[in-house]
Structure 1
Amino acid sequence: MIQVEFLGPIGNETISLNIKNLTELKDILNNDSRFENIKQWLDDCAVAVNNKMVDSLDISLSNGDKVTLLPPVCGG
């Protein structure tokens, strides 16, 4: 099981999914109506796997991994 954490203004609770890579996660978040409010963030979010930033959807995931979606933040 993979834990998916949504930070900042995305506002979703952490979810658990049985997925093998980030491509599967993107497909689920884009196509499942439970995540309708997340779609607007997907193209702009940074992604971390086990607290390490990644830039590819081809990252393999293992049981117990944590994926974090980090939306862009504007501060002052």
Structure 2
Amino acid sequence: MVKVEFLGPINKESLELNVSNLKELKVILGQDESLKEWLELCAVALNDEMIFDDETTLKDGDKICLLPPVCGG
């Protein structure tokens, strides 16, 4: 199981899913209408390290965080 956390204004409870890579995770999360826009905007961290490759392999116990954009000064 991979734990998925939604940070900031996304306002969703954490999930635990059986997925093998980031691409598969995005497909599953994209089925939730309230997450579609966030998936396009958010950065993704795997175990507190930024990742950019949708083919990144995920394994049992990994933690994914969706990080919405922030602004400020």
Give the TM bin, normalised by the shorter chain. over 0.9
Percentage of matched positions with identical amino acids: 55
Q: Which runs of 4+ in 1 moved over 2 A?
A: none
The residue number in structure 2 matching 1:53 is 50
1:18 corresponds to which residue?
18
Question: Counterparts of 1:1-76 in structure 2 under 5 Å?
Answer: 1-31=1-31, 35-76=32-73
The Cα shift of 1:75 comes to: 2.1
Q: Which runs of 5+ in 1 are unaligned?
A: none
Normalising by structure 2, what TM-score? 0.94
TM-score, normalised relative to structure 1 = 0.90
